[in-house]
Amino acid sequence: MIVLEYKVKAKQAQYRAIDEAIRTVQFIRNKCLRYWMDAPKEAKIKRFDLNKYSTELRNQFNFVKDLNSMACQSSAERTWFAISRFYDNCKSNKAGKKGYPRFQKDNRSVEYKTTGWKLHQTKRRITITDKKGIGELKLLGKWDIHTYPVKTIKRVRLVRRADGYYCQFCVDVECVDIQPKTGHEIGLDVGLESFYTDSNGYQEPNPKFLRKAEESIKKVQRQIYKKKKGSTGRRKARAKYSRKHLRVSRQRNEHAKSLARNVCKSNDLVAYEDLRVSNMLKNHCLAKSIADASWYQFREWIEYFAGKFGKLAVAVPPQYTSQKCSQCKRVAKKSLSTRTHVCQCGCKLHRDTNAAINILQKAKSTVGQTGSNAKGVATSTLLGATLVEQVATMNLESPLL
């Protein structure tokens, strides 16, 4: 399943209609959440009950009735996704907060299923057919949506971002591009000094997109508080501030995507650490740098391209990958400030290079036991994802790649 995204061009009245549809979706989600919270314990609300309740909301409120019925169901499904994730975290005894569902305050999208929209014959325009008044929207972009049958489009989502509105198509196709075997294997150790260090000794520089843009972001942020609350100038300043952060987010994504693609295309086996980035962000001294490095995003793209190219991606436990010697396996303890691995056996390597070699060796020793699925990913965070989760994941691949 892939997601194709277009920029939307329309009139101001149509943009306001999209905003109204987005607010309606938020209203339905919050009402469904309140319905679940107020239900007695013996009721045991399920997914079907929330869908049924969304139908009742259509009979009670005219502005909800104006929205497509499947869009209402999709909003109820979002609520159930948050509830079921909370239940799963409780059952698995997840450490820390369990993610209790919260009311939504700033929803930015409305999602239609197989009805409520109609694609133009040229497939460069889309018409939203509900009673919100959105109408026909022009699609800007170079995606080849016309190469896919309309029946394969399972979801259509209108998204509001800082720089405009976008239309996303969730297409139910298998994205496979099997690449020839290269005979190469690689281990990756991510870090802050360099973005990653591989088992061959190569170090990819850390781009530090947020650090480079931080001065201009803070300058724009100061302009917000100089404007009067509720004024047009303050709204424009906030929009400019949001666009700055959106640019950084896109830079991280494209950087992680291009690196992951190159790594998976040139190696048959890619080994990396199974890091719990959410726990590492609790270190307040390094949290900003860790978030700026976007390690988890890099991991997700490695798994995606490994499945697409028919390669094997293996996540290994990170314990002792930096402390253990890659030659004699003796543990040589060192602090984070020690950047060179020196062992009694005579091995002298960069700390991250030694860790990358250990990661590759761990992966090669366990790959025969863990096996691999049809996509070639031995340990994947996307396994068993439902349709709603896959749409939410949004594997957007650039046409230039």
229-274 residue pLDDT tens = 989 999 999 999 999 999 999 999 999 999 999 999 999 999 999 8
Based on the fold, state whether residues 191 and 325 are members of the same structural domain: yes
Report the CATH number that the domain containing residue 286 is assigned in CATH.
Answer: 3.30.420
Cα→Cα distances 247→9, 167, 258, 291, 295, Å = 20, 19, 17, 15, 18
Q: How many CB atoms lie within 10 A of CB 35?
A: 19
- The reply to whether 44 falls in a domain is yes
Percent of the chain at pLDDT exceeding 90: 61
108 lies in the same domain as 192: no
Residue 320 has φ and ψ, to the nearest 5°, of 65, 15
Kindly state whether residues 109 and 197 are assigned to the same domain: no
pLDDT of residue 313 exceeding 70: yes
pLDDT greater at residue 167 or residue 388:
167
Identify the pLDDT of residue 380: 37
> Are 20 and 140 contained in the same domain?
yes
Residues in Cβ contact with 242 at an 8 Å cutoff, skipping those fewer than 6 apart: 162
Instruction: Region of 340 please: left (phi>0), alpha (psi -120 to 50) or beta.
Output: beta
pTM beyond 0.85: the answer is no
Decide which of 146, 171, 196 is a domain's last residue: 171
* Torsion angle, alpha carbons of 329, 330, 335, 338, to 10: -80
- pLDDT tens per residue across span 27-50: 999 999 999 999 888 778 899 999
Same domain for 132 and 280, yes or no, is no
Asked if pLDDT for residue 61 goes beyond 80, the answer is: yes
pLDDT (0 to 100) of residue 368: 57
Q: Which of 171, 198, 222 is the last residue of a domain?
A: 171
> Based on the structure, what is the number of domains in the chain?
2
Could you tell me the CA-to-CA distances from 42 to 38, 45, 46, 51, 165 in Å, in that order? 12, 9, 12, 19, 43
Reduce the DSSP state of residue 117 to 3 states and report it. strand
In this structure, are 324 and 267 located in the same domain?
A: yes
Residue 58 lies in a domain: yes
Asked, for residue 363, whether it belongs to a domain, the answer is yes
- Lay out the sheet containing 164-171: strands in order across: 109-112, 153-161, 164-171, 2-9, 135-140, 125-128, 117-119
Q: What is the pLDDT of residue 396?
A: 54
369 pLDDT band (50/70/90 cuts)?
very low
Assign 344 a pLDDT band (cuts: 50, 70, 90). confident
Say yes or no to pLDDT of 371 above 80: no
Same domain, 81 and 197: no
Are residue 148 and residue 279 in the same domain, yes or no?
no
pLDDT-derived band at 327, boundaries 50, 70, 90 = confident
Task: Tell whether 179 is covered by a domain.
Answer: no
* Residue at 86 is within a domain: yes
Which residue, 145, 171, 197, sits at the end of a domain? 171
Same domain, 260 and 331: yes
Do both 135 and 279 map to the same domain?
no
**For residue 227, what are its two tokens?**
């404007």
pLDDT value for 41? 80
Least confident segment among 29-38, 205-214, 311-320: 311-320
pLDDT in the model for residue 397: 52
- Residue 186: what pLDDT? 93
Residue 398 lies in a domain: no
Where in the sequence is the domain holding 324, given as residue range(s)? 185-206+254-386
Residue 245 belongs to some domain of the structure:
no
Judge whether 211 lies within some domain.
no
Is pLDDT of 372 > 70?
Answer: no
Q: Are residues 20 and 167 in the same domain?
A: yes
| One domain for residues 291 and 197 | yes
Average pLDDT over residues 135-158: 88
What are the Cα distances from residue 66, in Å, to 52, 73, 130? 17, 13, 6
